[in-house]
Amino acid sequence: MVSDFMEWSEISFLQKPWIKYGALFLANLMTLSSLVLGIVGIVLTFKSYENYSIYFAKILAVCSIFDFADGKLARIGGSKKIAVDVDTISDSIVFGILPAIYLGYWVSDWSIVAGVFTGLIYVGAVWFRLYRFKKKDPMYAPYFRGLPSPFAAMVIACLLIFSDTPEWGVLIATIILAGFMISTIPFASFKGVPSKFDWFWIVVTTLVFILFAVFPTSLMIFPAYSLATLMIIYLVAGPIYAEKLDKKYQQDKKIKEKKAVPEA
């Protein structure tokens, strides 16, 4: 049975060299693929394609799946470098620069100054959060401090797929999301070996993200509403679940420390 806080290194069959090398290869491939998609998204922003907001949302959905998966694979492979440094660089572009540019482009139809401000506040919040994550967050903890940037990017994606979303509404939403990202509110990270509940949440969320990414434009509204529902649940229940996990994590840590101390 998998404990709530079992680490990947504690699962014996995952320690085989070919599994670890394979996991690292896939992690690198997903990180690179996400970065390529991010650059493609930035380039397409300036082409003013019809319904680009749909493709923008799809790109972010695919990159969010890759971001979650490559972190898991990097931990299985035992590489902190990939999991923290390389992934942080990719995230800063995919979930920072790409959304910031498109947000600025969108809001600038209302006001150039507001568009520049919107882009700056968003990318600033993402970069601050990623910097704090790299410097202070451990490789495994039951929660993130502040709203994860892929989640914030998907909220933006959901807002922008509706063409009638007002520019001032996008600006306000961006400020709120930036506040959540730079806050110290705990959000469940699902970093470790998933528990039964974690597996349920991960599978459901991944399926919705996949549907969001592959559904044709005419049907995007259905997975969009499902994704919005999951986001509301995560925003409301995520901090509560993270607090509960933290208490269990601290108890589990004390038990392991006691077991590690040899009896006199």
pLDDT in tens, 26-36: 888 888 899 99
Specify the higher pLDDT residue, 50 or 194.
50
Question: Is residue 261 in a domain?
Answer: no
Question: Is residue 263 in a domain?
Answer: no
Calpha distance 259→254 (Å, rounded): 9
Calpha distance 122→128 (Å, rounded): 10
**What CATH number does residue 142 fall under?**
1.20.120.1760
Question: Is residue 198 in a domain?
Answer: yes
- Classify 187 as helix, strand or coil: strand
Structural domain harbouring 189: 8-251
Q: In the predicted model, is pLDDT for residue 214 greater than 90?
A: no
Calpha distance 146→162 (Å, rounded): 27
Question: Is residue 258 in a domain?
Answer: no
- Dump pLDDT digits (tens) for 132-144: 877 765 545 667 7
Copy the structure tokens of residue 131. 């910097």
Calpha distance 73→83 (Å, rounded): 9
- Give how many domains the chain has, as a whole number: 1
Question: Is residue 96 in a domain?
Answer: yes
Question: Is residue 259 in a domain?
Answer: no
- Classify 32 as helix, strand or coil: helix
Question: Is residue 256 in a domain?
Answer: no
